[in-house]
Amino acid sequence: MAVNQTGKGTARSNTARVKSVEDSIRDTEEPEHRLKKNLSALDLTVFGVGVIIGTGIFVLTGEVAKTTAGPAVAISFVVAGVVCALAAVCYAEFASTVPVAGSAYTFSYATLGELLAWIIGWDLVLELALGAATVSVGWSGYLNQLLGDMGIPLSTTIAGEDATVNIPAIVIALVMTGVLVLGIKLSSVVTNVIVAIKVLIVLFIIVLGVFYVTADNYTPFVPPSEATPEGEGGWKQPLIQLFGITQGTFGWGGVIAGASIVFFAFIGFDIVATAAEETKNPKRDLPRGIIGSLLVCTLLYVAVSLVVVGMQPYDELSVTAPLADAFSSVGLSWASSLISVGALAGLTSVVMILMLGQSRVLFAMSRDHLLPPALGAVHPRYGTPYKITIITGVVVALLAGFLPISALSELVNIGTLFAFVLVSIAVVVLRRTRPDLPRAFRVPLVPFLPIVSVLACLYLMANLPVETWVRFLIWMALGFVVYFTYGRRHSRLGGAEGEAAAERLTADREARGRPSGG
């Protein structure tokens, strides 16, 4: 993996163009690309909790317990949380060292080079835009369920996953786009209110539900392993089975397979890193926001999953609305509507913050001219990248409104895990190439911990279906086409500007007393 930073023409002559950390930070001061700094550590933690608590806690708990892991779904959440924690500390070091919008894209550009930075930026679309569209569809379903409880359901032709045109999904995506355009501080105020509502709902579920737990429902905690059901081979089987490792369902193999599914429930803590430029004290507050939000959500997930499987036998859980159904099973039907309100609040903030992350990644890519630079214009009044935000919102609304994207949700997982792999590698690379950089937060046990993070992410990726891998590879191949037909030719690290960047990089290295070929 060449990190070529040597000659004057290097930035122009190969796809390992590296954008120095200093250049990345310098770009944030350009008047036309300067974002307002309004966010604190508390805002960032709330953002993280806001985007993490959503689909996972309200849906996946029942699905994984019933079909894959049994009561041990709580362990699946812990395993997924540990994998995310390994990646989170790597994100925290980068975010405190390179406090620039773009998250994994920006980190990769400063360490692994332009081509890999483009790959990760393109890959993040799977996590962010597709994730926002998927959650918008889920929001529509919960809204219709709530309206049904009130006796005024919407037609299934205009609401829910099977709708011809999913009107509520389109509306929520566009409304959240408007909130994002109006400013990051307004977005954080809206998120604070929403997060407060859904955390209260989650705590309500835990506190009330624990009084209806039956100990017998926890036996067996890890159900005996079963063979993979008929008809789930071929494209549907996990990639790992192609190498002769049969996971099946339930047992400890099912617990690990469950972790690769509930991983979706943790997606979002890395969104905190995309708001680096809008943070008052990023070197201090970003690590706190990233790790704090992940810790809070892991504890809540484990507690909710233990309560739900304790209230109702795991093989009787609903796979669509497990929390509401569990309360109904013990005679607390009135709690169903309250839980639906919490789910709506939870999914609302997820949609908004996923689109926030997507717009900031595309903003960073346009600022580097890998995408048309005009798209990265910042609104003179609101201080937000309004063009890219509007484009992101329209695309998410169209995806949510017209495509049955539930089958593509696993693409969100594989895209995110791939991003985690590259960020974990990049930490080791930057430690070697730039040991002089001030780091407000340092990953312990380098390179051991980042290597464990890479291996853990790859193992979860291997537990995803073969068809998901095929779709992922097709999407990435399309990204290569876009890069070599537009991004590479228009990059700021090409041409005269690239030569100037290479000269600054060489001068910086010589000033630090190291040879430029280092």
Q: Which is more confidently placed, 354 or 235?
A: 354
pLDDT grade for 103, boundaries at 50, 70 and 90:
low
The answer to whether the CB of 98 falls within 8 A of the CB of 106 is yes
pLDDT grade for 485, boundaries at 50, 70 and 90:
very high
pLDDT grade for 2, boundaries at 50, 70 and 90:
very low
Residues 440-457, mean pLDDT to the nearest whole number: 89
pLDDT grade for 480, boundaries at 50, 70 and 90:
very high
Gap between the Cα atoms of 398 and 347, Å rounded = 18
pLDDT of residue 50: 73
pLDDT grade for 518, boundaries at 50, 70 and 90:
very low
Residue 153: pLDDT above 90?
no
Give the angle subtended at the CA of 491 by the CAs of 495 and 110, to the nearest 5°. 105
Please, what sign has the CA dihedral across residues 223, 228, 232, 237?
A: positive
pTM, full prediction: 0.78
22 burial type by CB count under 10 A (0-12 exposed, 13-18 middle, 19+ buried): middle
Identity (one letter) of the amino acid at 234?
G
pLDDT of residue 158: 86
DSSP of 384-453, one letter per residue? S-HHHHHHHHHHHHHHHHH--GGGGHHHHHHHHHHHHHHHHHHHHHHHHH-TTS--SS--SSTTHHHHHH
pLDDT of residue 377: 80
Fold of 18-492: Amino acid/polyamine transporter I (1.20.1740)
pLDDT in tens, 312-339: 999 888 776 788 778 878 888 788 778 8
Residue 448: pLDDT above 90?
yes
pLDDT of residue 395: 93
pLDDT grade for 1, boundaries at 50, 70 and 90:
very low
Instruction: Pick the most confident of 47-56, 188-197, 418-427.
Output: 418-427
pLDDT in tens, 106-125: 777 877 788 888 998 898 88
pLDDT of residue 451: 95
Identity (one letter) of the amino acid at 247?
Q
pLDDT grade for 295, boundaries at 50, 70 and 90:
confident
pLDDT of residue 72: 93
pLDDT in tens, 38-82: 677 777 787 778 778 876 777 778 888 988 888 999 999 999 988
